[in-house]
Every structure is written in C-alpha cells, then in structure tokens.
Structure 1
Amino acid sequence: MAITVIKIRKLNVKHAKIITVADRMIVAIHELIDNLHPPTTSPDRLRVSLFLTIAEQFEACVHLLRVNMPSHAAVHTRSMLEALVSMNLLGKRENYVEQMLYKQLSGQKKILENILESEYFPDESKKLIQTLLSECLPAYNEKHNAGIRKRQIGEEMLEAGLAELIPPYLMLCGFSHNDVSVLALRHQGENAMTYMATVNDDITSSIFMTAVRIIVQATEPLSKIAFFVDNSFETGFRKMNDTWGEALEALETCQN
C-alpha cells in the first residue's frame, strides 16, 4: 500500500483565522517581554524563566499550526502546562524548587543506573557513567532523606489551582506519547497511509485554545514578581486578554 504525502501547505480559512489571532498574541507577548525587568533572586527569577520558556513554546506551537501540523503542537502545549504548574507552585511555596531539583536528580539517577545495568553498553564507557552517578547520589540522597518524593502531575495540578486543565492535559499526553489512536488519526487514510495529513478542526482548536489559556495565565503573576516600565504591563496584558477574546471568537467561527 502506498503512502500518500500531503503536499498542499495552504491553510484552510478556519486555520488561517486562528493563525492571525496567534500572531497578534505573539506581538503582545513580545511587547510585554521588551518592557520586562526580571527579579534578581529566586524563586521569582525562576518563575520568570518558566514564563519565558512558556512563551517560546507558544511560538513553537504557532509555527506547527502554520505548517498544518497542529497535532504535533500538543507536545509543546503539554510542556507549557507543566511549566505553568511549576510556576504556580513556586508562587505558593518557595521550597518547591527543592521538589524540582529532586525530580531532576531522580531522573538522572534512574537513567544512569539503567545504563550501568545494560549489557550492551561497553564496560570502559561505564566508568564515566559510574562517576556521574557518584556525583549525582549525594544530592539525591540528601533530598530523599529529607522526605522529598516524586509527585504525580495530577496532584500538583490540583495544588497549583489548575484542576480545570487536567482533561486537556490528558488529551495532550495522548498526542505526545503517540498513542495508537493518535497514530491512526495521523497516518491511516482511507486508501493509503498518510504523511503530513490535516487533522480535525476540533483538535486544532482544542490544542490552540489550551496554549492561549496557558500563556495568558502564565503572564498574570508577572505584575507582582517583575518590574515593568510605566504601565506597560497593564497595557500588554490587556492586549493579551483582548486577543484571548478574539481567539474565542475564532474558535466559535471554526465550529460553525
């Protein structure tokens, strides 16, 4: 069976409207960032770093939407949401940074231990891995002995006040993990397998609106943790909220 390569790059009218709104959001984000003076101390500086990452990932989502690959934008949207969770929790308790470090160390430890157990990895190379593990363990053990443990993302989303985003998160995970149903959606055409095929408008709208909501929610706390020239935050954030309203109108148009 042949594979059908979808070569048409022209966006349909519905997607074009979404892109237009997305571009306006990016302009508003850039204006706000241009006037942002970040704090010099943690955890607020780390929160601003998370915001900047969320903003970059939003632009990545828009680029994928622009080339008719919206289902792959779900990967970046999921990362945006996870960053927003961390951003919110850092605002609730300063020591959440210890939780973030423990998660990082736990992941490093697991990977290094798995490499050492692998029969396919050369023994000579394992010496370096053992050294890296020896460097990782003291910091990991310190936090583990202090009672810090890995937490489920759902639990953290509830604490972060983002319970309403749990259902969208599950949808985003499906596209990020290449579930069987997602693979069928992307590549199982009626008469042949497909490459670069357009997905359902509802999926595009859902991913895009989730990304818009996240970037707006991530921006709101900046007024309290960063310095902005004159009233530039209020002006920029108002533009973002107005654009969110335009996004809702565009979504309604897409559904009609």
Structure 2
Amino acid sequence: MLGLNELIGTAKAAKDQVDVILLKAIVSDSGEARVAASLCLSIAEQFSAAILLIEAHHSAQAAIIVRSMLEGLSDLLNLARDPKHLDQMRFENARSDVVLFEGFVNYNSIREDLTAIKTLNEWQAKALPIRDQLRSKGLSHQQVEQKFKAAGIQSEYITYRVFCSFAHNQLSTLIARHAGPAVLRYHSDVPEETIKSILSVALAILCKAVKALPKFTDIEALEVITTLDRIDAMWEAAG
C-alpha cells in the first residue's frame, strides 16, 4: 500500500483523467442536461477542494466537502434517471428561499430597512408562485434518505450520515477531533486510514458522476468506461 502522499498523487492523476472528458464534453440542449452537467462539474470541483484540504492538513473539513458531493450525486443520478426530477429540485429551491426570506423579514434589524424589505418581498414574490405551483402538482419536501433511495445509492446514506457528524459538529466528532491527553488538539489531522477512506469515497462519487455523462452530453459510454477502468486500475495499484 502506498503512503498518503502517493495516494493523494494518484487521486490528482485520476482527476486529470476525468478533466480530459469534462473539458471536451458538449452538453445536450435542455435545461435538465445543463443542470445535470452543472452538478457533475460541482462534484469534480469539490473533489479538488477535498484534496486541497487534505494537503493543507484540514482533513476533517474535507469530509464536509465529500458530504456535499454525495448530495450532489443523488440529485445528478435522479436527474439522469428522470428529467422530471428537475421539478423536485425547483420545488426544494423555492421552498428554501421562501423560508429564508420569511426569516429575514422577521429580524428586528431588517424590519426598519425599507430597501431590504422591498428586495426581500420581490424575491419572495418570485419564489412563492413556483413553490405553490409545484406543490399543487403533488410535489413535497423530499428527505435526503428518500432521495438517495430513488437515486439507487441508499447504501451510501450511512456514509452520508457519518460525514454529517463532521459538518454538524456532533459531540463525539468534536471529542475525536480535538481531545488530547493533556491539551486540546488544533489543526490536527484525522487518522491516516480515515483520510484514505475520505479520499476513496470522494473518488467513488466522482466516478459515479462521470459515468452518467453520456446521458446528458455527447460523450460516448465506451470512452467513459475506458477512463473509469483506467482510474480503477490506478487506485487498486495505489491501495
């Protein structure tokens, strides 16, 4: 098994292989395809961000990025499976916006700012009709576990929950991250095996996102399979 630095180098090489495909892909001419492509690009960017955090000895924070990658993957796979999932995404977006704007309006510091209130009301006037229209079609808030199940990655939900503990600063995670024998640890990496697991999960997510490319771009499935097989061989040799 290679050391951590060599494994990071392999992860970077894998990202380079993915970029060859991403940079030449032509996205299909539809809103669903453009959103799917945007999700794929975000996942690839987050993969790079996770590597940078690990290299900077902020590996615990890398887990938070990978959590977001999993969320993006669930939307991407659902969208690739059914273009109508875009309506679900639009509903969730409008629903969140309405809650956010209503919360802002209720802040005492905002109430006296007429310009801010006017802007918030304008934003809410755009979000409310979208939420209500889609709700009238039967759409409702979808729990993360439901979304993972629909995307065919329900087995990844436990991993997602583990990474949530990093994002939400759960007590057990705080203790594991900072508790030392005599003093609290600061800027301290998680164990190397945990870092390797984070990298492995991140790469698996990236590969699953890339595998969906032929459904919304001009990239041929054979080229994707060939690239992913090459990445898999690189990772197997490294691990």
Q: Tell me the TM-score normalized by structure 1.
A: 0.84
Q: Which residue of 2 aligns with 1:174?
A: 165
Letter in 1 for 2:49: A
Q: What SS does the aligned partner of 2:110 have?
A: coil
Q: Which residue of 2 aligns with 1:127?
A: 118
Structure 1 residues 192 and 45 mapped into 2: Cα distance closer, same or farther (>3 Å)?
same
Q: Which residue of 2 aligns with 1:241?
A: 232
* Structure-2 separation of matches of 1:223 and 1:229: 6
Would the aligned equivalents of 2:54 and 2:62 in 1 still touch at CA under 8 Å? yes
Deviation, structure 1 residue 205: 2.1
Deviation, structure 1 residue 151: 0.6
Farther-moved stretch of structure 1 (15-24 vs 211-220): 15-24
5+ residue gaps in structure 2? none
Q: Which residue of 2 aligns with 1:147?
A: 138
1:111 aligns with 2:91: no
Q: Which residue of 2 aligns with 1:20?
A: 9
Deviation, structure 1 residue 65: 1.1
Q: What SS does the aligned partner of 1:101 have?
A: helix
Q: Would you say how many aligned residue pairs link Structure 1 and Structure 2?
A: 236
* Structure-2 separation of matches of 1:225 and 1:138: 29
Deviation, structure 1 residue 59: 0.5
1:216 pairs, out of 202, 207, 214, with 207
Letter in 1 for 2:120: I
Farther-moved stretch of structure 1 (37-46 vs 221-230): 221-230
Q: Which residue of 2 aligns with 1:252?
A: none
Structure 1 residues 231 and 213 mapped into 2: Cα distance closer, same or farther (>3 Å)?
closer
Q: Which residue of 1 aligns with 2:84?
A: 95
**Root-mean-square deviation over aligned CA pairs:** 2.0
Q: Can you list the C-alpha shifts for 1:91-142, whole angstroms capped at 9, x where unaligned?
A: 2221110100110111110011111222343422333322322232122211
Letter in 2 for 1:49: S
* Structure-1 separation of matches of 2:221 and 2:178: 51
Deviation, structure 1 residue 55: 0.6
1:198 aligns with 2:189: yes
Deviation, structure 1 residue 231: 6.5
Q: Which residue of 2 aligns with 1:57?
A: 46
1:48 pairs, out of 37, 46, 51, with 37
Farther-moved stretch of structure 1 (117-126 vs 188-197): 117-126
Q: Which residue of 2 aligns with 1:35?
A: 24
1:164 aligns with 2:176: no
Over the matched positions of the two proteins, sequence identity in percent amounts to 23
